A and B are shown apart, each in its own frame.
Chain A
Amino acid sequence: MSIDNNYARPDALVTTAWVAEHLKDQNLRIIESNEDILLYDTAHIPGAVHIDWQQDLQDQTIRDYIDTGAFAALCERNGIASDTTCVFYGDKSNWWACYALWVFRLFGHEKVKIMDGGRDKWIAEGRPLTREIPEYQPTSYPVPKLRRDEEIRAFYDQALAQSRHGAPLIDVRSPGEFKGLVTHMPEYPQEGVLRGGHIPGASSIPWKQAVNTDGTFKSASELRKIYQEDLHLNPDQDIIAYCRIGERSSHTWFVLKYLLGFEKVRNYDGSWTEWGNRVGAPIERSI
């Protein structure tokens, strides 16, 4: 399988075969990012480092991302320089890989790629795995001047304005969550919300529509049909995607931004855990 050259940015995706051929590249870092916190420890791609969405990318007190200094330190200890090509992969069809890539873009790291099909595809193909934790020479990563929240991140007020103006909002959760039939799993209180439903005016396009059964992304023509022909989105529009905590919408953000070339798409990482708990937030249900 090769990468579809009709994607807007085909260079943002690499195949498992490509990764296998570049395992020893000096200026490339393979990064595993998962929902399953112990999965990397069970086995990973030789040379891959582990970056956890919660432990490494989020501020541990305030609900926000780490600051620019902490990002530089994270890169330094993982041997990532400002010109290192970072290839992300992970479980759950690359949800958290896309999330980590999105956070790296928040800090302006330019060279980012996703390994198509993620961890499951690598394993299904019988490619090598190891439990050895690699050690890299620490780099000197310049502290980014700013975090680019304005460009690719949306906040509550912006999502509200989008809703009021009838501008595109994409809800990428499952249909049951969109309708308000499901809020969160009862045993998952951390992701709890008080109200179910969706942001008024949002369209339901579950993230899963963008992937094949093996977790790889659908072709450019299939994606264009879903997002452009059927949903009538166009690449010039301001678009906000959201889910429950921002990881599934990172996946859709990657699809729209890199595979379809939508320049003004943003990820609302506060997502339903903010909206569904917020006093006075308007909610639509379709039960």
Chain B
Amino acid sequence: MSFPPKLAALVDLFSSLSEMERRETLIAYADQASSQEPRQGEVFDLEDIRKDEECTDTVAVFLRVEEGRCHFRITLGKQVQTLTRAMSAILCKGLDSLSPEEVLAIPNEIVKTIVGAELVRVRSQTVYYLLTRIKGIVRLWLKNHTPQTGK
């Protein structure tokens, strides 16, 4: 399957790595997660802020749609796991400027290609978490912006 260019570049990068290199690259992306936080003065169409005290800490997803293209920002609590932090940096970059429909069409299996089968096997709940949240906010935006057809 072909992916949009930014995402394809990331998929190609991760596909070429050994398991050890993949983990190191994920950690490097996790270290960049704070660069995806909202900038001062930015305005968003939707914000989805959730805190699960027991498992994930706070994960806030922000969506701005300009001229039909999505832009994401993500804020993460201090206790958020490394994989989730890595996926926030990867997905904010890889999904930037896609249309809402394109975001929803991204197969969940792309996560497996990026993080590798081994990490999916041992932490499947964590690795899919952020893509699910991103698709959720996009789905809500689409619902709010789809003309209602009355009978």
Q: Which residues of B contact A (CB under 8 A)?
A: 23-24, 26-27, 30, 52-56, 79, 81-83, 86, 119, 122-126, 128-129, 132-133
Q: In the bound complex, do residue B55 and residue A41 qualify as a contact, i.e. CB atoms below 8 Å apart? A: no
- Which 8 A-B pairs have CB atoms at the shortest separation, nearest pair first? A38-B82, A36-B81, A190-B125, A188-B125, A187-B132, A54-B122, A187-B129, A37-B123
Main secondary structure of the interface of B (DSSP, over half): helix
From A54, A91, A177, contact of B123 by CB (8 A): A54
Q: In the bound complex, do residue A173 and residue B54 qualify as a contact, i.e. CB atoms below 8 Å apart? A: yes
CB distance from A90 to the nearest CB of B (A): 12
Residues of B within 8 A of A42 (CB): 27, 30, 82
Given contacts A37-B119, A52-B122, contact A187 B128 (CB under 8 A): yes
Q: In the bound complex, do residue A37 and residue B83 qualify as a contact, i.e. CB atoms below 8 Å apart? A: yes
CB nearest to A36 among chain B residues:
B81
Q: Which residues of A contact B (CB under 8 A)?
A: 35-39, 41-42, 52, 54-55, 91-92, 173-174, 177, 185, 187-191, 248
CB nearest to B52 among chain A residues:
A185
Q: In the bound complex, do residue B26 and residue A174 qualify as a contact, i.e. CB atoms below 8 Å apart? A: no
A38 to B125, CA, bound (A): 14
Q: In the bound complex, do residue B26 and residue A38 qualify as a contact, i.e. CB atoms below 8 Å apart? A: yes
A189 to B129, CA, bound (A): 10
Q: In the bound complex, do residue A191 and residue B125 qualify as a contact, i.e. CB atoms below 8 Å apart? A: yes
Q: In the bound complex, do residue B54 and residue A38 qualify as a contact, i.e. CB atoms below 8 Å apart? A: no
Q: In the bound complex, do residue B56 and residue A185 qualify as a contact, i.e. CB atoms below 8 Å apart? A: yes
A111 to B73, CA, bound (A): 47
